[in-house]
Structure 1
Amino acid sequence: MAAPIDVHSAVAEAAAEIAHARKDILRIATAGSVDDGKSTLIGRLLFDSKAVFEDQYAAIERASRGDYVDLALLTDGLRAEREQGITIDVAYRYFSTPRRTFILADTPGHVQYTRNMVTGASTADLAIVLVDARKGMVEQSRRHAFLASLLRVPHLVVAVNKMDLVDWSEEVFERIRDEFSAFATKLDVPDLTVVPISALQGDNVVTRSANMPWYEGTSLLHHLEHVHVASDRNLVDTRFPVQYVIRPQSDAFHDYRGYAGRVAAGVLRPGDEVQVLPSGLTTTIAGIDGPDGPVDAAFPPMSVTVRLSDDLDVSRGDLICRPHNAPQVTQDLDALVCWMADTPLVPRMRLAVKHTTRTVRAMVKELQYRLDVNTLHRETDAPQLGLNDIGRVRLRTTQPLFVDDYHRNRVTGRFILIDEATNATVGAGMLTPAG
């Protein structure tokens, strides 16, 4: 009789392997109201972590106005952004420290660019919401905190910026911290950290500030380097959407048939019994190939090729899982949708749904309510969803999809909506239980 498997130690071991395999990548999204200093903060992180080349710094120094070098120019690259002094599109920046690699998404603060914030935060491990110390919490601060919780971003950092303009006041910081903490109790925020900073001068961004001796926490970068994210991944429910079938047309590999894709959840190992959806047929894994050759295990977010022991009919859009732990197979989707198009979403509208590697046609059956992201009020009589609106929508697809609740798996629990006429992405959906 086989020895029982220690699930907790297996998950912990897999989490450690993920951290090593990813070289500990942390995906960050910044959010907040207009002029709270998001782009300046990212510029400061890049500059103080020595991620800015000399010619880049010289260029923004020449373009800056006033006494300070405008580090926001490192991310605000569009001409319209520089003219208006605001962020319009999502700007991605990459930098590293000896401990961790960071992928930073600078998202817009304007209300009309809510869809851009959703795009940037949808894959984030951590969200930074900036608050102007002079203004305190404003409508956009609440909106972006709510969106971060809606998108199930596991870690939330509130950076109280421009502390230099309130004379480094501990009282101001504590008032904002307490107000935000009270608001966060209404949201699903598992990890909340509040840090006082001055992005313009660099206080508490990379190093501790001498101007705020009353603050006993760490600097922002220190927190980003040490926040634990490997265990946020679902390592229990095995999910492997097939993206491409590899069948080389050469004599040397004439027997090779592999199924390439990215592991969405769980751990795959050679010898594991698996099931292929939608056929429901079962087999075992003969081997797993990575970019550098065979691997002993595959876990999120590794991209690998899985070889099966039996010749089954497996194609793009199919999903490999465990026989006794399969996702829900359904043609009815009940989801929160963020609408991203000028043409409104209305009942009976026909769209395409792209879920993992599977694309199917669908029709909007019902708009249950539109959500006011400021008050969290549900408008049950809303006739449509307009640009940047969020609401609960029921869809009926022409073919079944293999889905999980978004809170359980952020990959198999989300989808995008596509206009079949223009092929433009018009919406993003999260599969959440009604409630």
Structure 2
Amino acid sequence: MSHQSDLIASDILGYLKQHENKDMLRFITCGNVDDGKSTLIGRLLHDSKLIFEDQLAAIQKDSQKYNTTDQEIDLALLVDGLQAEREQGITIDVAYRYFSTDKRKFIIADCPGHEQYTRNMATGASTCDLAIILIDARYGVQTQTRRHSYIVSLLGIKHVLVAVNKMDLMDFSEARFNEIKAQYLAFAEDLAIPDIRFVPISALRGDNVVNESTATPWYEGETLMRLLESVEITQHAQLDAFRLPVQYVNRPNLDFRGFCGTVAAGHVLPGDEVVALPSGKKSKVKAIVTFEGDQPAAYAGQAVTLTLEDEIDVSRGDMLVRAGDAQPAISQAFEAHVVWMNESPLLVGKEYAFKLGGKSVFGRISRIAHRVDVNTMEKVDASQLSLNEIALVTVEVNAAVVFDSYRQCRGTGGFIIIDRLSNATAGAGMINASAVSAQQGQVDELSRLRAFEVELNALVRKHFPDWEARDISKLR
């Protein structure tokens, strides 16, 4: 449902135009179990007048049936739709909700707090711009709070709103709020999250969610909704360079061959020279084709089909980049942070399937550099990974893949690990920035050594015809 507007009755086309031009914010709610994530989303929708009357009547009836809030209306039932969720009063699956206000459109991902569903949380956070971390004012920062915050940092989310919930149970104590704020900031010092803000709330009562609370005169900040409407979201992709992972080759007839995909970074214009990687073949963009017709340009986030002037070999899983731009890395090995999502442990040397963009290859984890203890942020030695554990690993695959670092570009720096027997997603990975440059440096150094060896061989053979080539290799 959308926000209330007088234009709906008087000028529906004007309303739709106004609605179309709003920017979109995707955010996730996460934290420990029973911190109030689903209730917060229900309160946002309820106090913003974004619930239909029949929806409200239905959850009032279900609130009496399940009685999880001591006869109060249970707004969490708006997003907890599974029977098991309602019976247990928990979130199991990721629930997405859409709404809008006068200033912005929103997509919310309500994620589970239980440790066994951390994989669902990582999935929901992978497309978000902002994270709301809920903390129960009674318990403060807990293990799941740290784990979710660390995953948010790994996934490159740069804006975090820490909502200290259930302040009504602590008599809206300013001292307790400041204590939790200091506790979280001390933990977050080692996280790459540049923008962290704190709000004291009561999701059940509605304090400081949409409307300001009279119970917190000491809090001078904005409500949660105003922060969501005003936060400035930067683009995920830090690259200006053009990146188009090819997801499909469209060949409906002999006269048309198009390369389909979503632009992961940068932009491209008709006439631009592009390079197909990893082959290195070059051509120029002939047209940018979409459902609405040919376009004058394609930008990050747009799904397009490119046609080229030359018949070069481009397949699903290849990447189109603009000639002259900073080029991505091409390698059969890279380092990455991995979040393990499978009940069966990650085993070093075991063969898995890896999916990077549209490219699927087989490979293995050849080394676990260290596992991260989310409680202390310490780097711990490990020989395998269990469910929900996070580690820095080295990945080796059977074919060359094209990638950037995840912090530069999500679309070309992230991958998933698939168990070959069950075909289930076993883990998610984010390619490490420093590891990319280190790997590239190793490749460049090896290339220089090989070139030097070739020149030295030629020089020695010219002046010493009887010298064995295999002896020269010892000079490296």
Q: Structure 1 length as normaliser, TM-score? A: 0.90
Structure 1 partner of 2:255: 255
CA contact (8 A) 2:91 2:113 kept: yes
Q: Distance in 2 between matches of 1:205 and 1:161?
A: 10
Structure 2 partner of 1:416: 416
AA aligned opposite 1:310 = D
Q: Distance in 2 between matches of 1:320 and 1:21?
A: 30
Residue 350 (str. 1) matches residue 373 (str. 2): no
Aligned length: 411
Q: Distance in 1 between matches of 2:212 and 2:266?
A: 39
> Aligned-pair distance for 1:394?
1.6
Secondary structure of the 1:246 match is: strand
Structure 2 partner of 1:10: none
Q: Distance in 2 between matches of 1:335 and 1:316?
A: 23
Q: Distance in 1 between matches of 2:297 and 2:194?
A: 29
Structure 2 partner of 1:60: 59
Q: Structure 2 length as normaliser, TM-score? A: 0.83
Output one character per residue of 1:372-420: Cα deviation in whole Å (capped at 9) or x when no partner. 111112221x221111111122221111111111111112111001122
> Aligned-pair distance for 1:23?
4.2
Q: Distance in 1 between matches of 2:343 and 2:387?
A: 5
Q: Distance in 1 between matches of 2:119 and 2:328?
A: 28
5 Å-filtered alignment, 1:10-409, equals 23-64=22-63, 65=67, 66-249=70-253, 254-324=254-324, 325-380=326-381, 382-409=382-409
Q: Distance in 2 between matches of 1:284 and 1:143?
A: 46
Q: Distance in 1 between matches of 2:239 and 2:217?
A: 41
Higher helix proportion (structure 1 or 2): 2
Q: Which moved more, 1:20-29 or 1:130-139?
A: 20-29
> Aligned-pair distance for 1:21?
8.2
RMSD: 1.8
Output one character per residue of 1:327-364: Cα deviation in whole Å (capped at 9) or x when no partner. 10011021111111121111110011100011111122
Q: Distance in 2 between matches of 1:265 and 1:38?
A: 32
Q: Distance in 1 between matches of 2:202 and 2:110?
A: 17
> Aligned-pair distance for 1:369?
2.1
Secondary structure of the 1:411 match is: helix
> Aligned-pair distance for 1:86?
1.4
CA contact (8 A) 1:346 1:367 kept: no
AA aligned opposite 1:27 = R
CA contact (8 A) 1:235 1:299 kept: no
Secondary structure of the 1:36 match is: coil
Secondary structure of the 1:306 match is: strand
Q: Distance in 2 between matches of 1:55 and 1:112?
A: 34
Larger radius of gyration: 2
CA contact (8 A) 1:235 1:267 kept: no
Structure 2's unaligned 5+ residue stretches are 1-18, 439-476
CA contact (8 A) 2:268 2:322 kept: no
CA contact (8 A) 2:340 2:346 kept: yes
> Aligned-pair distance for 1:233?
3.4
Structure 1 partner of 2:470: none
Output one character per residue of 1:6-44: Cα deviation in whole Å (capped at 9) or x when no partner. xxxxxxxxxxxxxx9884221111111111100100111
Q: Percent identity?
A: 52
